[in-house]
Amino acid sequence: MTDWTRRDFLRTAGIAAAGVALAPRSSRAADARIDVLVGEPIGPVTADHYGHFVEHLGGVIYDGVWVGEQSRIANTGGVRQALVDHMRRLPRGPIRWPGGCFADSYDWRDGVGAAAARPRRTNFWLNDMASLPDSAGKFDPNAFGTNEFMRFCRLAGGAPYVAANLRSLPARDFYQWVEYCNAPAGSTSLAELRERGGDREPFGVRFWGVGNESWGCGGNFSPEDYAIEYRRFTAWVPRYGLQLAFIGSGPNAGDLGWTRRFFTKLTEKGEGALNGLWGWALHHYSWNASRGATTDWNAGKGDAVQFTNDEWYELLNEADRMDGLITGHWGVMGEIDRRRRVKLVVDEWGAWYKPGSEVDPTHLFGQQSTMRDALIAALTLDTFHRHADKVAMANVAQLINCLHSLFLAHEDQFVATPTFHVFEQYGAHVGGQSVRMVASAPRIAYQRVNGAGSFWGLGGSATLKDRVLTLTVVNPHTTEAREAEISIRGAAARTAKATVIAAPEIHAHNTFAEPGAVQPKEEAVAAPRDGAIVHRFAPASVTRLTVTLQ
């Protein structure tokens, strides 16, 4: 219970409960209620829940992260300075690289040594970019390799999370990549090669992904075949004094069979194999805005900026599936991993729209980010907080110029999206203990193709750090504010303040021309009465309440 002792809880619980029971209502009765139970801890919220993902895909690396040391664009060692400056405002989440599907076609040796001598290679995503103008996204110059990525991580403050090639390289290449990254200075030829690249000291990479989407682009394996490959790749890896964290290539969204069959095969020689599996990756994208009209991957996608109210709620529902995916896979994992050694790693999540809103035609899967994406990010982060005992890491897809981006950039232009502001606003949760939060509000009805749909009326999460409660709340209603009575069970509120991310209309988004269209604002909070708070949450908003406790 963080710095609260059980005695503190018991001493205040009766007083706070009485205060809630007697708390006066607002001038008009609140139509929603939020209960925070500080005596029911879930797990710690860490910066690892706020991770990122940078793949050699479209404009993510070239024209995004990397501008080159000789560029007229402000940079540090070739890394875009505006990106570094903004990332330093965020929780220091781990950064996943080089993919994604790209990872299983990547030879790490192509990206080390003198930059001028590195080979140009056909990018995995070439076929998807056939109709797009030529760019570094089609034919990778390998200017951004291992050393450059590690320097980017140091600049941004995030731990490196490296995805290894399981589909097209042997296990020896994997452990030699670990050697290149982590061997002590001057100890081996690969350590000396690293030094010639400008980094004498080891990188200390702890997080390693063993393949990516091995059910699909990472090899089209069956779960049994992948389990055999996983055991082979991790049978011997030099640790150099580090507690390496291997992350297995987990399911495509709700494929519980992949999880069950992998865990069963992995442990056929004994449960000790689970000691070599730190995390189990889970991917989930919110993409089907068709309201039940189709399940086709392309036809189901909607527009990033132009959408109806019904499509707004439908995609929020798609994002909210994350809660059930976490509990479903966690349950299956527990059938075999009864000691709960393995945690979930949601290393790809976010919204995915049809093409058309990218800031440059070479940015494959680039898309704009509106208030809808801010709410998707917020409700997803809230989900991770509520499952902090199950989810050890999460990585939004992707950081810049692709899918659910925090940033958009092209040449010397740069803008932070509403999703960036959510990550910054929610950073106050990091370092706190997630505690149970229950929201009750009327559900919102909307129209689907073959009937009515509905979505919850208020949601969020809460963390406790010392005597400060951070409460984040999403009001998904597109037009109606929601007034809620907030009860803190086991404590009483002394003061409260709020920041809110909202906009005059739900399609609002930041552009190079209007970078401040969506940004957080301070908001007044009525003084707590008898330890409780009544607050009005704006329509289509993300709010953070910072509550000091008595």
CA 152 to chain centre: 18
Sheet holding 207-210, edge to edge: 52-53, 95-97, 160-164, 207-210, 245-248, 279-286, 343-351, 391-396
Residue 30: pLDDT band with limits 50, 70, 90 = confident
For residues 291-299, average pLDDT:
98
More confident residue, 24 or 38: 38
Segments of 50-176 assigned E as strands:
52-53, 75-76, 79-80, 95-97, 121-122, 139-140, 160-164
- Find where tokens 């192509």 sit: 110
CA angle 512, 421, 362 (to 5 degrees): 40
Number of residues written out for the chain: 550
Plot region of 515 (φ>0 → left; ψ -120 to 50 → alpha; else → beta): alpha
Give the model confidence (pLDDT) of 156-170 as tens digits.
Answer: 999 999 999 999 999
Residue 23: pLDDT band with limits 50, 70, 90 = very low
Domains and CATH numbers, the chain: 6-44+433-549 (2.60.40.1180), 47-429 (3.20.20.80)
Quick one: pLDDT at residue 29?
61
Q: Are 335 and 326 in contact (CB under 8 A)?
A: no
DSSP state of 26: -
Please say whether the dihedral angle defined by the alpha carbons of residues 145, 149, 150 and 152, taken in this order, is positive or negative: positive
Give the model confidence (pLDDT) of 43-70 as tens digits.
Answer: 999 999 999 999 999 999 999 999 999 9
**Is 523 among the residues known to form the active site?**
no
26 by Cβ neighbours in 10 Å (0-12 / 13-18 / 19+) ranks as middle
* 3 three-state secondary structure: coil
| Average pLDDT along the chain | 94
Quick one: pLDDT at residue 531?
85
Give the model confidence (pLDDT) of 90-130 as tens digits.
Answer: 999 999 999 999 999 999 999 999 999 999 999 999 999 99
DSSP state of 317: H
Cα–Cα distance measured from residue 263 to residue 329, given in angstroms and rounded to the nearest whole number:
11
Give the model confidence (pLDDT) of 274-284 as tens digits.
Answer: 999 999 999 99
**Is 213 among the residues known to form the active site?**
yes
Which position among 213, 358, 485, 523 bears the catalytic label? 213
* All residues at 6 or more sequence positions from 383 whose CB lies less than 8 Å from its CB, including other chains: 320, 322, 323, 326, 461
Which tokens go with 459?
């949601």
How many CA atoms within 13 Å lie on the side-chain side of 115? 14
Residue 241: pLDDT band with limits 50, 70, 90 = very high
What is the value of pTM for the model shown?
Answer: 0.94
Residue 449: pLDDT band with limits 50, 70, 90 = very high
Give the model confidence (pLDDT) of 492-535 as tens digits.
Answer: 999 999 999 999 999 999 999 999 999 999 999 999 998 899 99
Residue 250: pLDDT band with limits 50, 70, 90 = very high
DSSP state of 276: G
70 by Cβ neighbours in 10 Å (0-12 / 13-18 / 19+) ranks as exposed
Give the model confidence (pLDDT) of 329-351 as tens digits.
Answer: 999 999 999 999 999 999 999 99
Quick one: pLDDT at residue 11?
32
Which position among 55, 229, 314, 348 bears the catalytic label? 348
Quick one: pLDDT at residue 405?
98
Which tokens go with 227?
């389990």
- Find where tokens 């024209």 sit: 63
